[in-house]
Amino acid sequence: MGRKVKNLKLMMKNIAEDIKTVLEFYQAMGIERIPLNTIQDTGYKTQDKKSHASCILHHASALNSQQKRDALQALRDEIGDCQRCKLSKGRKNIVFGEGSVDAEIMFIGEGPGEDEDLQGRPFVGKAGQLLTKLIEKMGFKREDVYIGNIVKCRPPGNRDPEEDEISACSPFIKKQADIISPKVVVSLGRVSTQTLIGVKIPIGKLRGKFYQFENIPLMPTFHPSYLLRNPKDKWLVWEDAQKVLEKIKE
């Protein structure tokens, strides 16, 4: 009898911790009211902190479109006139990201270039035009997907973002992914891929295989700017894109 009571107390403690974690997630997203349809049996057993994280991401996918828009706006408000790293000194615009809050596919690059900095929108230059063609070839419109970057301000001379800049800014794209909860994330290029999956392996060895990012399947592929210099490798990106299309049908 005493053992059953002990197990019951432990179970209640775990449930309380789960509820607290879920509520903290919604608070961080700027959501003041929780819809009833998000409080449901998630079909998982509490095991450890990783289980709790998976549960939170499951709840993120239960947000409706308006709640996602509200959460993204709250996140943009949190970023504000960001001065968290030295990139803020040279930027003209913060490039937050854009696209459908209900996107099945989320594309994540490394950082804005000159055109993006001027317009405040991601992937609008020559590399962006190539990305748009890829999206359309996959059977989508640009507004059907979500597009963002690891850093939201342009690095000087379009250099790679530095570690301190990535550390200051990358939590925001991770929060965006949590909110949108796409079926697949496509990481564009070395910086994006290595940041999101936490490795230092060359993109050529990583591309073409699925990894996990925030409990979401992630497909690394070459950055569109690389393809502008190496058009012969476009077929490899299309090969990766076809695997993404197969994944979202599962």
Q: How far is CA 149 from the centre of its chain?
A: 9
Please say whether the dihedral angle defined by the alpha carbons of residues 177, 180, 183 and 188, taken in this order, is positive or negative.
negative
The encoded tokens of residue 91 equal: 């930027």
What are the backbone dihedrals phi and psi of residue 111, each rounded to the nearest 5 degrees, phi first? -175, 165
What is the pTM for the complete model shown? 0.78
Q: How far is CA 244 from the centre of its chain?
A: 15
Q: For 219, which DSSP code?
A: E
- What is the tens place of the pLDDT at every residue in 29-84? 444 444 434 333 333 333 343 344 444 444 455 799 999 999 999 999 999 999 99
202-226: average pLDDT: 97
Architecture, CATH, for domain 91-249:
3-Layer(aba) Sandwich (3.40)
Amino acid at residue number 69: R
Check residue 234 and give its pLDDT: 98
From the CA atom positions of the chain, what is the Rg in Å?
Answer: 20
Q: Is the pLDDT of residue 204 over 60?
A: yes
